[in-house]
Amino acid sequence: MSDRFLAGRTALVTGSTSGIGLAVAKTLGAAGAHVIVHGLGSADEIAQAEQSVREAGAASARFLPGNLADPMAIDTLMREAGALDILVNNAGIQHTAPLAEMPAAQWDRILAINLSAVFHTMRLALPGMAQRGFGRVVNIASVHGLVASVNKAPYVAAKHGVVGLSKVAALEYAAQGDRNGGGITVNCVCPGFVETALIEPQIQARAMNHGGDREAGIRDLLGEKQPSLRMTLPEEIGALALWLCRREAHNLNGAAIPVDGGWTAA
């Protein structure tokens, strides 16, 4: 699927200066999309992200800032982004602590960025998609949108909320557009362990228990929950997001697709 089927389309990927978001942005760009990069980072890191999306083949790549904890900032971001054909809500934050010890401020911030921001971006993007007869919303939820883990109360609550919110939006816009145009779909991708810089310290900590063997460290880490004992690569999440943007995916709608090596199969 290396064709440029997204030529002329515009995509916004939140949290796309690194990790999964950057991989998704590059994958959409390789299919010919104009890509709006968003997220945190130094000026150099942002410039590098834009450049890597261009080098992947994007028709254009530009960065837009926006504090996703602030609804007014989201309004500005979406207004500056303009008419969107594809919206990928990837940005998210995490804080782990037992429920009774979770700071209230962390609860509020995680819910704001991981859930409320998804509502606000969809609220602003979907009507225009419906008018044009084509739209794709891909919400990067998490395996924690399907199951729970200890010490992650706000994250799990937010990701479960994203799955439910996406189903509502899918129902409301399902009849818009047609097969030829591609229609409007809203889906969630629910990754388990993904090999990103954020998880590398956990891998290294486990590897130390196996004489520095990184692969053994990965198997040790994943053995608790991910039966495949293999991590997903960010580019593989990008490939799935890209497929969801194809016209042929017009009837895959309201789904929460686990990419978790069997974690949620039990």
Q: Is the sign of the CA dihedral 259, 88, 157, 108 positive or negative?
A: positive
CA distance 39 to 12: 11
CA distance 54 to 60: 6
Size of the chain in residues: 266
232, 261 in Cβ contact below 8 A?
yes
In the numeric block, the tokens 């419906």 are attached to: 130
Strand partners, 89: 139
Would you list the domain boundaries of the chain?
A: 10-192+233-257, 197-231
CA distance 230 to 215: 9
3-state secondary structure 21-37: HHHHHHHHHHCCCEEEE
Return the number of other C-beta atoms located less than 10 Å from residue 250's C-beta: 19
Strand partners, 15: none
Distances (CA, A) of 145 to 24, 103, 125, 232: 20, 21, 22, 17
Q: Is 58 left (phi over 0), alpha (psi -120 to 50) or beta?
A: beta
Closest CA to 24 of 248, 224, 245: 245
Q: Is the sign of the CA dihedral 205, 208, 212, 214 positive or negative?
A: negative
173 an active-site residue?
no
**Amino acid at the residue 191:** P
Q: What are the structure tokens assigned to 194, written together? A: 């993904």
Please report the pLDDT score of residue 62 as a whole number.
98
Please report the pLDDT score of residue 1 as a whole number.
44
What's this model's pTM, rounded to 2 decimal places? Answer: 0.95
Strand partners, 62: 36
Please report the pLDDT score of residue 2 as a whole number.
62
CATH topology for 10-192+233-257? Rossmann fold (3.40.50)
Q: What are the structure tokens assigned to 111, written together? A: 């819910």
29, 23 in Cβ contact below 8 A?
no
**48-73 exposure pattern, b = at least 16 Cβ within 10 A, e = fewer:** ebbebbbebbbbebebbebebbeeee
CA distance 138 to 150: 26
pLDDT tens, N- to C-terminus, the chain (266 residues): 468 999 999 999 999 999 999 999 999 999 999 999 999 999 999 999 999 999 999 999 999 999 999 999 999 999 999 999 999 999 999 999 999 999 999 999 999 999 999 999 999 999 999 999 999 999 999 999 999 999 999 999 999 999 999 999 999 999 999 999 999 999 999 999 999 887 888 899 999 999 999 999 999 989 989 999 999 999 999 999 999 999 999 999 999 999 999 999 98
Please report the pLDDT score of residue 224 as a whole number.
83
Q: Of these residues, 107, 134, 155, 263, which one is catalytic?
A: 155
